[in-house]
Chains A and B, each alone.
Chain A
Amino acid sequence: MNNAWLVLLKRDLLLAFRRRSDIATTLFFFVIVSSLFPLGVGSDSAILSTIAPGVLWVAALLAGMISLSRMFAADFTDGTLEQMLLSPQPLALMVTAKILAHWLVCGLPVVLLAPVIGLQYALPSDAIGILVFSLLLGTPALSLIGAIGAALTLGVRGSGLLVALLVLPLYIPVLIFGSLAVSASQHAMSPQAHLSLLAAISLLALVLAPLATAAALRISLE
């Protein structure tokens, strides 16, 4: 079972690295969205550092969302997903490998790139540290919750927009605690409570989301 899980993870990562442009698209989307805000709001560094936590988190949310449809779509069209369903390994466990692969490909690069964008927004260095840490804690929840939406909309017409409608309301708690943690550190308050809640949401999602995703895949493939 462990073996199958690792094979699936390696396969998904390999497929992603064979099509590097997909990773780059997500990353550039994050950069472009967060670069648009100063152009719209103005370059006043006081305003920028006030809106930075929210803007960067929303950009990370959207970047994670646009890549969701790729999580299962290719496997759905070529029949791999059906083989996964028929395999003796529990589907919920196999799904975690796919979600982890998605996070490593789409979530982690955003986390690593965030300090650069944070500098552009005139964030102080400790706030940048909290930003990276909060993204590290929160983006796994985005991939986990997003997987449910991606699985539910498999093979549905207009699935790209539908995923946004289904998943974005469920992302709200992550957004709130993520940006609150960063702005708390900006105002010399402890971000610990928000970070703990963020970690709690991720852990809860880790337990429940794979089960819901597996159920959704069974519905979509019947």
Chain B
Amino acid sequence: MMSMKKIILGLGLLIALTGAALILFVTGTKYIGVHVALILIGAALARQSRYFDDNFYHNASPQAFYPTAGLLIPWFAWLAAVLVIYGLYVSFAIAPTDFQQGEAYRIIFVHVPAAWMSMVIYVAMAFWAGLGLILNARLSAMMAQALAPTGAIFTLLALVTGSLWGKPMWGTYWVWDARLTSELILLFLFLGFIALQSSIDDPRKADRAGALLALVGVVNVPIIYFSVKWWSTLHQGSSINMGAAPKMAATMFEGMIIMALAFWMYTIAVTLIRARCIILERERNSGWVKELATRESSGAKS
């Protein structure tokens, strides 16, 4: 039996060591902030492994997950706060002014990570939904449901910041270019998922219907993306190309990566909080929730 503890520990150590190794051997101290952030996140994850049960499947029970999530939330929330403060500091105080775009370019430090997160969250949501559908695991479906609002918010944030950036750059708030349009369609997909789930009263049925929709959406996302891309291409090329050296200044790149990591930590913290609420709501008639409620109310009195 795979041990959840070891997986989390290994993942954390891997992230931390990657950060350390990159400092030592590859990029030197050029992106020192990114590596420190990676080491912090990895160390925190490795430390969190103690909260997980050795039995892999035991962690999938809402009753066991509820307290674990409660212990994890402050770690991710603090990491998010620290990284956001440092990321904004790098973005606004250290990163140089762009010689073509002036100060207005700084909106990309929020815009690009938000756009990344919106796509990552959609895939994560489809992953959890699919896992819930295949293994019939309640917690996976709850995670998918908990991810959806955050994904919709990041999509909206990416759209709003994108149009605010477009006004000084392109002279208009909105252009029908490929990436703006596919981001808009992604928002529709998120809203469709949320609407379908909330209009079905039986939570188990809502989970399964939502999961199927998310999977259909994930098959469609690349088709939609490429069709929209061929339909129109006015947007500038990708800011960061995999495999190619980043074309921007090192500090700009660093600010963007730190902000992306911060958004990631924020997403995990908020999703866990929302998942805890969903667990309480769905399990409100079970013994352990009642016990928890009486314990908490008596604790508040004393």
Contact of B189 among A169, A212, A215, A219 (CB under 8 A): A169
CA–CA, A209 and B216, complex, Å: 9
Write out, one digit per residue, whether chain A residues 74-102 have a CB within 8 A of any chain B CB (1) or not (0). Answer: 00000000000000000000000000000
CA–CA, A148 and B212, complex, Å: 9
Q: Do A157 and B216 have beta carbons less than 8 Å apart?
A: no
Write out, one digit per residue, whether chain B residues 216-230 have a CB within 8 A of any chain A CB (1) or not (0). Answer: 110110011001101
CA–CA, A219 and B230, complex, Å: 36
Tell me, yes or no, whether B123 is within 8 Å of chain A by CB. Answer: no
Find the B residue at minimum CB distance from A216.
B212
CA–CA, A148 and B219, complex, Å: 13
Given contacts A156-B199, A156-B200, A162-B199, contact A173 B227 (CB under 8 A): yes
Q: Which residues of A contact B212 (CB under 8 A)?
A: 148, 152, 212, 215-216, 219
Tell me, yes or no, whether B208 is within 8 Å of chain A by CB. Answer: yes
Tell me, yes or no, whether A176 is within 8 Å of chain B by CB. Answer: yes
Tell me, yes or no, whether B191 is within 8 Å of chain A by CB. Answer: yes
Chain B CB within 10 Å — which of A212, A215, A219 has the most? A219
Residues in A5-22 with C-beta less than 8 Å from chain B: none
Q: Which residues of A contact B216 (CB under 8 A)?
A: 148, 170, 212
Chain A at the B interface: mostly helix, strand, loop or mixed?
Answer: helix
Q: Do A177 and B213 have beta carbons less than 8 Å apart?
A: no
CA–CA, A177 and B230, complex, Å: 9
Q: Do A166 and B228 have beta carbons less than 8 Å apart?
A: no
CA–CA, A170 and B185, complex, Å: 9
Tell me, yes or no, whether A180 is within 8 Å of chain B by CB. Answer: yes
CA–CA, A208 and B216, complex, Å: 9
Q: Do A172 and B224 have beta carbons less than 8 Å apart?
A: yes
Q: Which residues of A contact B228 (CB under 8 A)?
A: 172, 176
Q: Do A165 and B192 have beta carbons less than 8 Å apart?
A: yes
Q: Do B209 and A216 have beta carbons less than 8 Å apart?
A: yes
Q: Which residues of A contact B195 (CB under 8 A)?
A: 162, 165-166
Please count how many residues in chain A sit with their CB below 8 Å of the partner chain's CB atoms.
26
Q: Which residues of A contact B71 (CB under 8 A)?
A: none
Contact of A165 among B185, B188, B219, B227 (CB under 8 A): B188
Residues in A144-201 with C-beta less than 8 Å from chain B: 148, 152-153, 156-158, 162, 165-166, 168-170, 172-173, 176-177, 180, 197, 201
Number of A-B contacts (CB under 8 A): 66
Q: Which residues of A contact B200 (CB under 8 A)?
A: 156
Tell me, yes or no, whether B205 is within 8 Å of chain A by CB. Answer: yes
- Min CB gap A91→B, angstroms: 14
- Min CB gap B146→A, angstroms: 20
Tell me, yes or no, whether A220 is within 8 Å of chain B by CB. Answer: yes
Q: Which residues of B contact A156 (CB under 8 A)?
A: 196, 199-200
Find the B residue at minimum CB distance from A153.
B196
- Min CB gap B117→A, angstroms: 20
Find the A residue at minimum CB distance from B227.
A173
Tell me, yes or no, whether A44 is within 8 Å of chain B by CB. Answer: no
Q: Which residues of A contact B223 (CB under 8 A)?
A: 173, 201
Given contacts A156-B199, A166-B196, A176-B228, contact A219 B208 (CB under 8 A): yes
Q: Do A152 and B209 have beta carbons less than 8 Å apart?
A: yes
Q: Which residues of A contact B196 (CB under 8 A)?
A: 152-153, 156, 162, 166
Can you pick out 13 interface pairs between chain A and chain B where the beta carbons lie within 8 Å of each other?
Answer: A156-B199, A157-B199, A162-B196, A165-B191, A165-B195, A166-B196, A169-B220, A173-B224, A208-B219, A212-B212, A219-B209, A219-B212, A222-B205
The 9 closest A-B pairs by CB, nearest first: A173-B227, A169-B188, A219-B208, A166-B192, A176-B227, A165-B192, A176-B231, A173-B223, A152-B209
B interface residues, Cβ below 8 angstroms from A: 185, 188-189, 191-192, 195-196, 199-200, 205, 208-209, 212-213, 215-217, 219-220, 223-224, 227-228, 230-231
Instruction: A172-B228, A176-B228, A212-B215 are known; give 10 further A-B pairs, CB within 8 A.
Output: A152-B196, A156-B199, A158-B199, A165-B188, A165-B192, A166-B213, A169-B188, A172-B185, A173-B224, A201-B223
